[in-house]
A = this chain, B = another copy of it.
């Protein structure tokens, strides 16, 4: 018996990725799709301008799009809702007993909401009981995943933190257009161009990284004290965020040690063999000119951070380049892995109230 799940915001770029990744999932069964009024009442195949390069899953084609309101079938709600509306809708679902796995930014920094990367802070799910208590929710909850560039970065930082400690990271991102959703970035703005600004992105990288790497104690998560400074840019790349990182570790380490810490990184999802977990959460590529979005994005089905160009930096200590798939590990795939983690911890609701 699979767990019935719904996708909220199912017609957008991230919503489509949820539908794609949930197709054939061993634990979850996609039973409901919700979207905005414009789509409600239509077949998904008719309502959705599918923009992925694999065909729309057969099982989804005939589902009727419903309003994003509790009452939907499913005990989990994967949220790809726009941040303009996600906040109260996700709360309503959680209050009604759904486990909400959200990709929206709205609740990420709430003190009682876990911002999860299963390889990094699986213990932060302990915020869920806190959250239920505080908000008076019986079995529902909200758990979030980080924004796409943070997801890519933090997966590469975590093994370094674990092995050597982390003091600071100065990063410049080169982000793909799919990170802005659809229609997102106008082509006139980005063809042959770089736009050195993404609203809110730098702040998210800075605060989300610290929370994810932070420490859970009885009353919440204490952010990691490391410094993080980011400049975010948009580049004419369809998928895949590249991050140029300069980091200061807690202690000196050889480049071989740094490389080994990244390669050897395994964590809870790998030990539990969660269905969406990459075998290697961090893949190190050794060729001088890698990682590249066009060539390295499919590694581990888009669920890994791919690291290359590990070098000494005379100022910060170390520098390297990280690549991640922004709509898989950076969005829908991250939410699904979060759900798998919570299932393995026995924390999913059994039914909506």
B residues within 8 A CB of A170? 170, 246, 313, 315-316
Interface 9-mer from A156-164, A231-239, A256-264 = A231-239
Contact A196 B315 (CB under 8 A): no
**In the complex, A67 has a CB within 8 A of chain B:** no
Q: How far is the CB of A118 from chain B (nearest CB, A)?
A: 25
Report chain B residues within 8 Å CB of A269. Answer: none
Q: Would A319 and B187 count as touching, CB distance under 8 A? A: no
With A172-B172, A229-B316, A288-B197 as known contacts, state yes or no: A188 contacts B183, CB within 8 Å.
yes
Protomer copies: 4
List the B side residues contacting A51 at CB < 8 Å: 188-189, 295
What mask results when residues 307 to 325 of chain A are scored 1 for a CB within 8 Å of chain B, else 0? Answer: 0110001111001010000
Decide if B188 touches A321 in the complex (CB within 8 Å): no
Q: Once the chains bind, are B177 and A188 in contact (CB under 8 Å)?
A: yes
Q: Find chain B residues with CB under 8 A from A297 CB.
A: 53
A21 close to B (CB within 8 Å): no
Taking residues whose C-beta sits less than 8 angstroms from the other chain, chain A's interface range is 35 or more
| Closest-CB distance, A326 to chain B (whole angstroms) | 12
B236, A192: Cβ atoms under 8 Å? yes
Smallest Cβ distance from A144 to chain B, in angstroms? 24
A184 interface contact, C-beta 8 A: yes
Q: Is the CB of A272 closer than 8 A to any CB of chain B?
A: no
CB-contacts of A142-200 with B (<8 A): 168, 170, 172, 174, 177-178, 182-197, 199
Nearest B residue to A174, CB-CB: B194
Please measure, in the bound complex, the distance between the C-alpha atom of A185 and the C-alpha atom of B190, giving whole angstroms: 11
Contact pick for A191, options B187, B316, B319, CB 8 Å: B187
Question: Is B196's CB under 8 angstroms from A308's CB?
Answer: yes
Minimum distance in angstroms from A66 CB to a CB of chain B: 24
Q: A residues engaging B (CB < 8 A)?
A: 13, 51-55, 168, 170, 172, 174, 177-178, 182-197, 199, 227-229, 231, 233, 235-238, 240, 242, 244, 246, 288-299, 308-309, 313-316, 319, 321
